[in-house]
Amino acid sequence: VAVWALARRRGAGRDGPRAVLKPLPRHCGPRRSRGRAGHVAAPPSAEGHVGQAGTRRLRLGWAQDARRAGRGAGPGDPVHQLPHLEGWRAAQVGAGAGRGARAGSGPATRAPARSVCREDLWVRGGRILDPEKLFFEERRVADEQRDCGGCILAPGFIDVQINGGFGVDFSQASEDVGSGVALVARRILSHGVTSFCPTLVTSPLEVYHKVLPQIPVKSGGPHGAGVLGVHLEGPFISREKRGAHPEAHLRSFEADAFQDVLATYGGLDNVRIVTLAPELGHSQEVIRALTALGICVSLGHSVADLGTAEEAVQSGATFITHLFNAMLPFHHRDPGIVGLLTSDRLPAGRHIFYGMIADGIHTNPAALRIAHRAHPKGLVLVTDAVPALGLGNGRHTLGQQEVEVDGLTAYVAGTNTLSGSIAPMDTCVRHFLQATGCSVESALEAASLHPAQLLGLEKRKGTLDFGADADFVVLDDSLHVRATYISGELVWQVEEARP
């Protein structure tokens, strides 16, 4: 076990603290596991991969609380009188080399910078634990281990743009917004989403004032995915590119712009992201003010040219809302907001993140590939899901509209007008993988690491590094979700896996 721990640590050092899944040289997995078979070797998988060259397996070890108070346990851990370690038996969390090759990530003989590898994952106090300390300092092992049956473990998905789902519309004011948010939070666990930003589209002031105080930042758990803060998309957006946002409620900034923003939203306490159009007058001062408060500014629903967009990034904007949708189309003499992906006028050491709706409907696969190949590290998968998410085929009443759902498309009933995305996050991950031919790791990072980096949470979320929150998904080879964990606790699992 110690050998594995060291191998993991070296991997983390080489790739920096943000590695989603640590690299290991292909040869080291099986060889090292044989050396310490008593502790490390997982039982042969049903697929018979064990012992085959290039096959890697992971185990998952669970440990709770430290023997000695204040040692190894993270802040907020429950203090138990007696030491208690709890873990799981041999989790097989690896991916064979064949998976990377199939995904077209390059020659199978060359280990990618970050790759799915066979390794143990340990958890204590809701965080991912460095087992080296456990073994050598505390001289302990896990009490309990669990076999993950050859599945992949990846950081939990983070959806930074979701308007509702399961009939719930976050932009509808009611006395009990909380129960709607809670319903969505619970149901998206089955999509592998462990935290999200409930998103409000352009709304009348009363809606902001009523709804926002009812959506506090909240940790995830068995009750549902964690709420990271609200994403306010509008109302300070372009009339021309408003899309489905109601024209009557659009606003531009008044002379005292930031006061206008505060008056509009009625407070920013629960707000994490604001999407605005940077071509509106006074927008640069608003961007600076929001950024100073730690709120992420995203550019979208906009007719901005590249120069204006670059100025907005210089002022602090870090995100682009659903790239390609609701902005000027790419033009070679003025590439508009899309040009930020390859701009050389961004602040040193910073790059732009951009949301992509990879449902196979809102973005053509060729456009998805252009964006991904130009700027893979900035790609953030978002669902931009509407309340029809999860309702199934048929006609549904949503707000003032009738919506016809057919597969992954939702039309305004009787028309050809798309009424929004209804693809779950895991569907977007699979489509993105298939459409771009990227590696499994890249697809998983686009739904986990990148949104975490966007929100400055990469030490806690979007990663399986030591010390990070133990929010993760268990995925089969085809990236279908088998189980979801938050803070080391099983919060959802697929029906047939239930006892």
Alpha helix (H) ranges present in 46-96? none
The residue assigned the tokens 């070797």 is 41
Considering only CA atoms, which of 282, 276, 323, 328 is closest in space to residue 305? 328
Contact 125, 64 (CB under 8 A): yes
Cis peptide before 216 (omega within 30 of 0): no
Burial 382-400 (b: 16+ CB within 10 A, else e): bbbbbbbbbbeeeebebee
Strand partners, 492: 484
Tokens of 401: 């509209």
Contact 426, 157 (CB under 8 A): yes
The residue assigned the tokens 């133990």 is 470
* C-beta pairs of 337-340 under 8 Å, 24+ apart in sequence: 337/299, 337/300, 337/302, 337/304, 337/306, 337/309, 338/371, 339/306, 339/309, 340/299, 340/306, 340/309, 340/310, 340/313
Strand partners, 405: 394, 410
Assess whether 477 carries a catalytic annotation: no
Cα-Cα end-to-end distance for the chain: 29
DSSP symbols for 90-113: -------HHHHHHTT-S-TTSPPS
488 sits in the region (left: phi over 0; alpha: psi -120 to 50; else beta) called: left
CB contact set of 118 (below 8 Å; sequence gap of 6+): 24, 29, 33, 55, 56, 57, 58, 93, 94
Contact 128, 21 (CB under 8 A): no
Collapsing DSSP to helix, strand or coil, 406 comes out as strand
Contact 489, 222 (CB under 8 A): yes
Q: Residue 193: in which H helix or E strand, if any?
A: strand 193-200
Helices then strands, each counted (H, E), the chain: 14, 22
Q: Residue 153: in which H helix or E strand, if any?
A: strand 152-155
Considering only CA atoms, which of 491, 489, 487 is closest in space to residue 126? 487
Question: Checking DSSP bridges between strand 230-233 and strand 226-227, what pairing results, if any?
Answer: unpaired
Burial of residue 78, with CB atoms counted within 10 A of its CB: 0-12 exposed, 13-18 middle, 19 or more buried? exposed
Task: Indicate which residue of 130, 384, 465, 471 is catalytic.
Answer: 384
Which residues have a catalytic role annotated?
Answer: 384
